[in-house]
Amino acid sequence: MIVNLAQRTARPRTYLMCPPEHFTVEYAINAWMDPGTPVDVELAVKQWERLRETFTWLGHTVHVLPPEPGLPDMVFAANGAFMVDGTVYGARFANRQRAAEASVHRAFYAAHGWPFVAPTRVNEGEGDFAYLPAAHGGLILAGYGFRTEPAAHAEAQDALGRPVVPLRLVDPRFYHLDTALGALDDGNVAYFPDAFASSSQRVLRQLFPDAVLANEADACAFGLNLVSDGLNVVLSAEATGLAARLAAAGYQPVLTELSEMKKGGGSVKCCVAELR
């Protein structure tokens, strides 16, 4: 089927990012991290800066959260909170190594005057939450299985006033929802089916019959750890197969290289929180 690109519309977004000035892999809290693999911090900063410039070139606003020494994973700004309609549901990290990041993010939101709901349950922000305002009247997709507690789903629903659809992750390589599924626009997604339990796969098929499906190679290249404005999809340069499928579906892939951030288990989306 030939899709007219005019059917896809880019919408200006507002993002939060944190430069990787202190980024390193000092510990292993996911399947991708190896403390024995050195990080080129200078290259990481250059790659991050190119990513930030890509978003501004596409017409989006980017706020920058200053990094703090001793918190090497702050570059993964998506994990610090989850925001819908100006209300912020804060993060509570599963691993002690990242726990202090939550207060830094809370201070940022407080400084801007946005209502903040402090979590009592473990959740890692947009790492395990995705919001699709046009899907069935507005849905929050919520991952669990490795980091976020299922009880946090109900807490997020109460805090944000949107129905939450739980999705169980079963492959430790895809420890956050945003490594296995990416929102392409306000009502559609791309995802790797085998990252999910069979029951969750059935739910995804029912909710998103027109979803773009990724294969294992593209998922392992962090292709689904993407950021989309509804037309332009910024994703890992190595996910060429997924890029081709996105183009065939009417989206405009924008490939970027984040080799250093991948050493920490993240790529484009992990570096970006959306301020809705």
Give the residue numbers annotated as catalytic, written as ranges: 176, 270
Q: How far apart are the first and last CA of the chain?
A: 33
Q: Take residue 203 and report the two structure tokens written for it.
A: 């739910």
CB of 182 closer than 8 Å to CB of 189:
yes
Largest CA distance in the chain: 51
Percent helix, strand and coil across the chain, each rounded to 5? Answer: 35, 20, 45
Pair type for strands 273-274 and 14-17: antiparallel
**Length of the chain in terms of residues written:** 276
Cα–Cα dist 101/48, whole Å: 19
Amino acid at 89: Y
Sequence-ordered list of residues with C-beta below 8 angstroms from that of 206, at least 6 positions apart, any chain: none
Cα angle value 220/207/145 (rounded, 5°): 50
- Enter the DSSP assignment of 229: S
